[in-house]
Amino acid sequence: MNSRSVAAIRYVDAAELFQWIKRGTTGAGEPFQVIDVRGSDYIGGHIVNGWNYPYRELRDGGARMEELMQRLRSAAGAAGAQPINCVFHCAQSQQRGPSAAMKFLRSVADEDLARMRVCVLRGGFNHWQAEYGEDASVTEAYVPDLWRM
């Protein structure tokens, strides 16, 4: 779907992303990149090999959004003809993650649109860490004490 509407954004469950990380590609054999848009709440753990682009640095477009676009274009170029799945998330993926995904989708150049699949991690990092926080193969720099209630 080459649309710039919210309907073009796919939600990915933690279990599905876990399988992608373990396999190195999506179930369809496509590349993916996790984009963590948390700011100060980034401490205490993050998804392995994810890129941190705090939402406040992306929300107005500008240099950080262009940097993210360039990195993803490079990753998509390295993938050949396959699209890259861009998985955005924040703490709960209720506000910053989906908003960053939509902003990104609307910022993608027309010629790049077919190469970028925009996704949001359902439940965000809060859900991810509850399932996989202590698994160092998929979660880096995890500090369990920060997540205990």
pLDDT digits (tens, 9 = 90+) for 122-143: 999 999 999 999 999 999 999 9
CA–CA distance from 64 to each of 32, 48, 98 (Å)? 19, 21, 17
Whether the pLDDT of residue 79 is over 70: the answer is no
Per domain, the residue ranges of the chain are: 6-146
Identify the architecture of domain 6-146 in CATH.
3-Layer(aba) Sandwich (3.40)
Res 149: pLDDT: 58
Beta bridge partners of 10: 119
The Cα 69–Cα 63 span in angstroms is 10
The Cα 89–Cα 97 span in angstroms is 4
Among candidates 8, 27, 25, which has minimal Cα distance to 113?
8
pTM of the model: 0.93
Average pLDDT of the chain to the nearest whole number: 90
pLDDT above 70 as % of the chain: 95
Res 1: pLDDT: 45
Averaged pLDDT, 104-117: 87
The Cα 35–Cα 27 span in angstroms is 19
Res 78: pLDDT: 67
Across 57-79, b (16+ Cβ under 10 Å) vs e yields bbeeeeeebeebbeebbebbeee
